[in-house]
Structure 1
């Protein structure tokens, strides 16, 4: 009897932890790209892009937007699954975990695809254009480096 109660407690705790994690996740709009893209759109006309570079620019933008939409759809799907799991008397933690792993893999692939599109665009630029883009990126990299995150705390073994 104690084992069944313990399992129920663990399942409830895990479901609660997962739902809190989903609820506390930062919205996708809060990514660093939300500041980069408007600035990049202002810089693009000054770069004097060739037609090939313009095509790569548009491909990178389209890929990023498609990735964003797909990630939003994945998030909505996870929320629906969590709502249906809340209505069940016994939560299938294996299925919940599998859904999260599946979405993480899909989102990782989408981010990688978007990053590769931007890198391909960047590689097509000449040195003067790369200097302009780098000047745009430098303050953002500095802000990331100065982020007041928690310092690393080594494990104490306790």
Structure 2
């Protein structure tokens, strides 16, 4: 009887962790934690950490051919983003339906998750290809501007990460095995 309970608990754990992984790893899944507000801010951001691409668009002063490639990349981004969201919603719906079954089909759930991940990977690749097409059509001055924008965004993300790590260390400084906080420098 004990082995049966352990097996049942293990199956539930595997199923819930698969659902959690599918939800967490799917970039299109709506956020539900404290970071939920940040999830909805992603819409105007370009690939490779570009930040607000509308602002960058105005600075680039694109010629008509470059503008056409830009608009195609924007359209591809929006279309693929919507498709990824829809894929994620379908996966969540199938997981919710599976939850009502007496015996879970873990192999089927995994196959469905992998299918969605593969589809989303292809969509991300198409989006990146569209933006690479834009980048490859830029002159050296425009590429320098884009490169500077990406590097500035990376620096901003690193600053955010460093601050988050400091906050995390401060939260855990009383925990056993946590490194002691460094005292402020004397002046």
Match of 1:97 in 2: 110
The question of 1:36 aligning with 2:49 is answered no
Higher RCO (CA < 8 A, seq sep 6+) = 1
Match of 1:10 in 2: 10
Aligned residues: 150
The CA distance in 2 between the partners of 1:33 and 1:127, in whole Å, is: 28
The two structures have a TM-score, normalised by structure 2, of 0.69
Deviations 1:98-126 (A, max 9, x none): 00100010010000110111011001000
CA contact (8 A) 1:39 1:136 kept: no
Gaps of at least 5 residues in structure 1 are 151-158
Over the aligned positions, Cα root-mean-square deviation in angstroms equals 2.6
| Cα distance, 1:139–1:32 mapped onto 2, change above 3 Å | farther
Match of 1:76 in 2: 89
Greater C-alpha radius of gyration: 2
| Cα distance, 1:31–1:134 mapped onto 2, change above 3 Å | farther
SS of the residue corresponding to residue 18 of structure 2 reads: helix
The CA distance in 1 between the partners of 2:4 and 2:158, in whole Å, is: 48
The CA distance in 2 between the partners of 1:59 and 1:68, in whole Å, is: 14
Post-superposition shift, 1:20?
2.8
| Cα distance, 1:27–1:101 mapped onto 2, change above 3 Å | closer
Equivalences for residues 101-112 of structure 1 within 5 A: 101-112=114-125
Equivalent of residue 149 in structure 2, options 132, 136, 140: 136
Post-superposition shift, 1:143?
3.7
CA contact (8 A) 1:60 1:114 kept: yes
Post-superposition shift, 1:54?
0.6
Question: Quick check: which one's helix share is greater?
Answer: 1
The CA distance in 1 between the partners of 2:137 and 2:109, in whole Å, is: 42
